[in-house]
Chains A and B, each alone.
Chain A
Amino acid sequence: MGSDKVIQIKNLNVFYKNHKKSPLSKDRKVHVLKGVDLDVYEGEILGLAGESGCGKSTLAKAIVGMNKDFTGEIIQKYQDAQMVFQDPYSSLNPSKKIGWLLAEPLKVDKTKKWTKEEIDAKVKEIIKAIGLTENMLGRYPDQLSGGQRQRVSIGVALMRSPKVLIADEPVSALDVTIQAQILELLQNLHKEYGITILFISHDLRVIYQICDHVAVMRGGIIEEYGAPKEVYKNPKCDYTKELLVSAGIK
């Protein structure tokens, strides 16, 4: 057992430095995640919901190794998880062209030496997969719309063909119509590449549309977990009910 789980998180506690407290104060750390247990199954889209500030990004960053100060276990079947960030305006380097941004993950790949031809071929494959055209490769990020930028961010994350993609509120900064397009793109990529996605959102409606499982987080704890249909039909905790009401579902 366990081989069908790509990520197993056991009793995870994550801490941040508290910059407000004086260096002499005793509790200089903020305890953000308080014993999170969560499994991500191979090939699924797992939705992680919860209000802003509850620790969703903290969990995502812990998985990809950006939060070093934690206790507990994070077991990953593949070590290649990539992440897409919320703000498509700050996640693309403004001084680089799209083609450069897409090629960079391959140029710095430590597991494989890519030739120029291989890089070009992969860049062309990915630009098509994210629904953009080759003439965009020569553009700078500020010549793209928010939705197009988010597509590029997703493309950059996909360049090394990761088995796991963590999308941290990838549509929260976008217009509703654009949101739908990006969600569709994620679903297509999920089908086409069989990639496992941890999809983070504060919007339960979005999660309902695309996820196989949903986990509801509150104050650094997973409060509810299950298939979206069941969770939405009879939520066990009041907090989930509140979220459903505020999302206009109940």
Chain B
Amino acid sequence: MKKFLSMFKKNKATGKRNTYLIMGTIITGLIVIIVLVGLFYTPYSPTKMDSSAKLQGFSFKHIMGTDHMGRDVFSRVVYGSRITLAIATFTVLIGAGLGTIIGAITGYFGGILDEFTMRVVDAMLAFPSILLSLVFVSLFGTGTYQVAIALGISFVPSFARIVRGEVLRCKNMDYVEVARLQGVSDLRIIFVHILPNITGVLVSTIMIGFNNAVLAEAGLSFLGIGSQPPYASLGNMLSDAQSYLFSRPSYVLGIGATIVLMVLGFSFLSEGMKRWK
């Protein structure tokens, strides 16, 4: 925690603040706080329709206006952000969890297993991840959980590759030899001795992962195969809003801006963490 707070101070060596990290933390923190508050309170019910107040612009009553069914867009955005963030978290957990285990083990042991796994990873990475997730969605079906699992699996290869590279870098260090000499088991070397040394890269990759997960989920939902109404994610809402792009641009604007802000927050965080230290 102390270490976390120290990142906001000026770097002693360069005398510069890590602006990326600060901006990222503020943006992401704000979104997370609003979403958390939204668990208990939103200005309106996200599903309450009011036929007398359809497609209104920005106002104090409805800060992001209302949609084509007279629902408060801000309340819906808070609710949709929760769904989007939940899917992104789940996706990153699967991708980072499985990816780390696979990458660490193949990188450490090498050999035929490594060779085989990396060829599979290469093959998967050769496809755009959205295409890959489409394939998995067609296997698992549509729905919030299915989409999260599909996205998660499509994220495994990139995590596996990055972790493998880091483990390769570490495994020839003398401290690993020292551990082997002491008779430390291979699994303990991998997970206790080596992994803590790659958390920096891992955390920064996880932030990019969040970023990509938000975009991918929005993309899938936009295509109509993401989470299904009434559990509208930001992507679903954007898809609904697109027909009013020209007649009522304010409708799209609130939703679009939220997605952009979310992605921006995560990419700032990731960039900031890379520059940290």
User: Chain A residues in contact with chain B, CB under 8 A?
Assistant: 64, 66, 82-83, 85, 87, 90-96, 104-105, 108-110, 153, 156, 160
Contacts and interface: CB of A to CB of B under 8 A. Distances in A.
B184 interface: yes
B13 interface: no
Contact of B183 (A66, A90, A93, A108): A108
B177 A93 contact: no
Nearest to A141: B175
Contacts, number: 48
B174 A91 contact: yes
Contact of A83 (B175, B181, B197): B181
Interface of B: 173-175, 177-185, 188, 193, 196-197, 199
A146 to B, nearest CB: 14
A85 B178 contact: yes
8 contacts: A66-B181, A87-B174, A91-B175, A95-B197, A104-B184, A105-B182, A108-B183, A108-B185
B183 A110 contact: yes
Which of A93, A108, A110 has the most B CB atoms < 10 Å from its CB? A93
Given A66-B177, A91-B173, 5 more contacts: A87-B174, A91-B177, A96-B196, A110-B183, A153-B178
Contacts of B184: 104, 108
A153 B182 CA distance: 13
Contacts of A95: 196-197, 199
B181 A82 contact: yes
B182 A104 contact: yes
Contacts of B178: 83, 85, 91, 153, 156
Contacts of A160: 182
Nearest to B176: A93
Nearest first, the 8 closest Cβ-Cβ pairs linking A and B are: A91-B174, A95-B196, A93-B175, A90-B174, A85-B174, A105-B182, A90-B173, A108-B184
B110 to A, nearest CB: 13
Nearest to A83: B181
B11 to A, nearest CB: 16
A143 B179 CA distance: 21
A105 B188 CA distance: 12
Contacts of B182: 82, 104-105, 108, 156, 160
B183 to A, nearest CB: 6
B180 A66 contact: yes
B175 to A, nearest CB: 4
